Structure 1
Amino acid sequence: MQSQSKAYAYGLAAVLAWSTVASAFKISLAHLSPAQLVLYASAASLLCLLGLLAVQGRLPELAPALRRHWRASLIFGAVNPALYYLILFQAYALLPAQEAQAINYTWALTMSLLAVPLLKQKLQRRDIAAALVCYLGVLVIGTRGQLLELRFSDSLGVALALASTLLWAGYWIFNARDTREPVIGLTLNFAFSLPLSLAWCAYTGQLGPVAWQGLAGAAYVGAFEMGFTFVLWLTAMKLTPSTARIANLIFLSPLLSLALIHFLIGEAILPSTLVGLGLILSGLALQKLAPRAKPAAALSADGGS
């Protein structure tokens, strides 16, 4: 019981942190381009992870892990954080935060659908039903309830938000086979992705001076979306005797996130967002009733928010 209580504490702390990041994305993007936010947030996250390893006395583990796994670290780092967050932040730049974060929660369903061609898993009837319900929710959000007109609030933004779920789900499917220790692996991913993000910003002329508010926002995103919060969630997963109990906590995040989006950013929460998010969460709940195990366990439950 004590172990489960600690697991709940770590899990709730992670969920609370993830609930703030949609607002943090939008606030930061008022001062930074998506590519700049990826760059500075990745740098902040790498510093956080290196600091954590230093406190734990584990920095010497990095060099041998780098020699053994540099190829995997380069590939994983190029996908996440470099490409995934570039696409996700561009979606947030184009869409209201409430719409982008709601659509992003369909990543769990995307993972099950991708597992069919990638892991040769069979598609269950419940998966098909969950897909229909979830993507109906996306349609409601993207059209702001104007289903018959099929006129999206921002077609490119919706497409990018959905594309980000493909990257995130694919990343975690392949990450399930990763033999690296999770925190060491994540640190190496950021170490390899940082030069890629820097090169992209240099190539596109985005290395000029930026406002301190943007840097502060990027530091927050790096710490609480990409860095420490992952460790909190991982710790919760290790402490709990039932990963399902902790994984279910993630359903609190979108509701808390909507409240923060309203009060911190000032967005009026649209009825279509509430209806669409309700459909998405209902589809995900239906999917969880499926008897087969899902790939890449609840370790990946944040989805990039």
Structure 2
Amino acid sequence: MTSRSLATSIGLTAIVMWASLGTLVAVSGRIPAFEMNMLTFGISGVAATVWLAATGRLGVLRQPLRVWALGVGGLFGYHALFFTALRLAPPVEANLVNYLWPLLIVLLSGLLPGERLRPHHLIGAALGLFGAGLVVTRGRGIAIDPADLPGYAAALASALTWAGYSVLSRRMGAVPTATVAGFCLATAVLSGVCHLIFETTVWPRGGVAWGAVVGLGVFPVGLAFFVWDHGVKRGDIQVLGAASYVTPLLSTLLLILAGWGEMSVSIGFAAVAITAGALIASWDVIRPASRKSRSGDA
């Protein structure tokens, strides 16, 4: 396995961790969005910073302002815009618009030095978008109310923010992934300020709820951002973008297994579309491996 393929594989683990987000949030109770961000990013940021201090690497946090602007803008900006969208527009439709970010990553990555956008990348991303649409709409149509347009605009802005953060992180490949620790801490502080201004505090109730909050901080709102940063900087960003459409499918399946939903025909079709899209978009990675296997057999 090449270093690029290994980095891609590491980045793909973020998708698996993000798939657990919905289930863990459901188990944690009705905690306001910015408070949840404050708690979970606080856990990941503090833990990662303590690790940097223990290994004598706190110096990596001394980065130019543009690096901090990108990191904090990506993590905090994305979540703030997405939560705003969920408040101003129907959640299902807002979630669908937000899930344009994998497609945007594939498209924008074609502008990066050394990258080339090929037809199979577009086909794979389009199939993934179709599958994600089936998941979040459950096969039903979408009715647009003009009153919801501000929410849809916020959802589109959140998609552009995360896609932009992911693609521009590639341009800052020399910045150590460990700096994500500082981005998480800053996001926790900003979320805490927003929580005090806009929300009423609701603490998790019981050990299970607190365990879910800790799980969120360790995995989908913690480690996932570190492996994603490594993947987009050193792996195949187009494969990562297209494969990200697996997230809503896996998330829905986990919720079903946990008893928070039911299986349907539309989810079955979505599974086929998303899997096919991910395989097609990953053809550049799969083809060399298959060629190597055939030459070895010979």
Indicate the TM-score class for this superposition, using the shorter chain for normalisation: 0.5 to 0.7
Whole-Å Cα distance in 2 between the matches of residues 257 and 142 of structure 1? 10
Residue 42 of structure 2 is matched in structure 1 by: 43
User: TM-score of the superposition, structure 1-length normalised?
Assistant: 0.66
Whole-Å Cα distance in 2 between the matches of residues 120 and 212 of structure 1? 50
Q: Once the 2 structures are TM-superposed, how far is the Cα of residue 171 of structure 1 from its aligned partner?
A: 0.6
Contact 1:109–1:284 at 8 Å: present in 2 too?
Answer: no
Whole-Å Cα distance in 2 between the matches of residues 71 and 119 of structure 1? 20
Contact 2:135–2:252 at 8 Å: present in 1 too?
Answer: no
Q: Once the 2 structures are TM-superposed, how far is the Cα of residue 164 of structure 1 from its aligned partner?
A: 4.0
When residues 11 and 122 of structure 1 are mapped into structure 2, their CA distance, relative to the original with a 3 A threshold, is closer
Q: Once the 2 structures are TM-superposed, how far is the Cα of residue 78 of structure 1 from its aligned partner?
A: 2.5
Whole-Å Cα distance in 1 between the matches of residues 91 and 30 of structure 2? 16
Q: Percent identity?
A: 22
Q: Once the 2 structures are TM-superposed, how far is the Cα of residue 31 of structure 1 from its aligned partner?
A: 1.8
Contact 1:78–1:196 at 8 Å: present in 2 too?
Answer: no
Matched, 1:191 2:190: no
User: What is the identity, as a one-letter code, of the residue corresponding to 1:57?
Assistant: G
Aligned partner of 2:69 among 43, 52, 74: 74
Whole-Å Cα distance in 2 between the matches of residues 290 and 235 of structure 1? 19
Q: Once the 2 structures are TM-superposed, how far is the Cα of residue 47 of structure 1 from its aligned partner?
A: 1.4
Whole-Å Cα distance in 1 between the matches of residues 253 and 130 of structure 2? 23
When residues 111 and 41 of structure 1 are mapped into structure 2, their CA distance, relative to the original with a 3 A threshold, is same
Q: Which runs of 5+ in 1 are unaligned?
A: 292-305
Q: Once the 2 structures are TM-superposed, how far is the Cα of residue 266 of structure 1 from its aligned partner?
A: 2.3
Residue 58 of structure 1 is matched in structure 2 by: 57
Q: Which moved more, 1:220-229 or 1:171-180?
A: 220-229
Whole-Å Cα distance in 2 between the matches of residues 176 and 111 of structure 1? 11
**1:293-304 equivalence runs, <5 A:** none
Alignment RMSD, CA only? Answer: 4.5
Q: Which moved more, 1:114-123 or 1:46-55?
A: 114-123
Residue 26 of structure 1 is matched in structure 2 by: 26
Q: Once the 2 structures are TM-superposed, how far is the Cα of residue 168 of structure 1 from its aligned partner?
A: 1.9
Q: Which moved more, 1:262-271 or 1:31-40?
A: 262-271
Contact 2:32–2:202 at 8 Å: present in 1 too?
Answer: no
Q: Which moved more, 1:262-271 or 1:84-93?
A: 84-93
When residues 263 and 284 of structure 1 are mapped into structure 2, their CA distance, relative to the original with a 3 A threshold, is closer
Whole-Å Cα distance in 2 between the matches of residues 150 and 254 of structure 1? 18
Contact 2:31–2:203 at 8 Å: present in 1 too?
Answer: yes
Whole-Å Cα distance in 1 between the matches of residues 78 and 100 of structure 2? 15
Contact 1:106–1:134 at 8 Å: present in 2 too?
Answer: no
When residues 89 and 181 of structure 1 are mapped into structure 2, their CA distance, relative to the original with a 3 A threshold, is same
Residue 222 of structure 1 is matched in structure 2 by: 217
Q: Once the 2 structures are TM-superposed, how far is the Cα of residue 118 of structure 1 from its aligned partner?
A: 7.3
When residues 264 and 275 of structure 1 are mapped into structure 2, their CA distance, relative to the original with a 3 A threshold, is same
- Deviation per CA, 1:39-89: give whole Å up to 9, x if none: 211111111211322343323x25xx43x4244213421321x12223445
Whole-Å Cα distance in 1 between the matches of residues 17 and 122 of structure 2? 32
Residue 292 of structure 2 is matched in structure 1 by: none
Whole-Å Cα distance in 1 between the matches of residues 126 and 12 of structure 2? 30
Whole-Å Cα distance in 2 between the matches of residues 249 and 115 of structure 1? 14
SS at match of 1:171: helix
Contact 1:34–1:90 at 8 Å: present in 2 too?
Answer: no
When residues 237 and 189 of structure 1 are mapped into structure 2, their CA distance, relative to the original with a 3 A threshold, is closer
**1:93-132 equivalence runs, <5 A:** 95=91, 107-116=101-110, 123-132=117-126
- Deviation per CA, 1:202-244: give whole Å up to 9, x if none: 221x253523456543332121113234556778999x9x979
Matched, 1:175 2:169: yes
**1:259-270 equivalence runs, <5 A:** 259-270=253-264
Whole-Å Cα distance in 2 between the matches of residues 203 and 53 of structure 1? 32
SS at match of 1:211: coil
Residue 208 of structure 1 is matched in structure 2 by: 201
Residue 301 of structure 1 is matched in structure 2 by: none
User: TM-score of the superposition, structure 2-length normalised?
Assistant: 0.67
User: What is the identity, as a one-letter code, of the residue corresponding to 2:38?
Assistant: L
Whole-Å Cα distance in 2 between the matches of residues 27 and 223 of structure 1? 15
User: What is the identity, as a one-letter code, of the residue corresponding to 1:84?
Assistant: Y
When residues 162 and 281 of structure 1 are mapped into structure 2, their CA distance, relative to the original with a 3 A threshold, is farther
Aligned length: 270
Q: Which runs of 5+ in 2 are unaligned?
A: 286-298
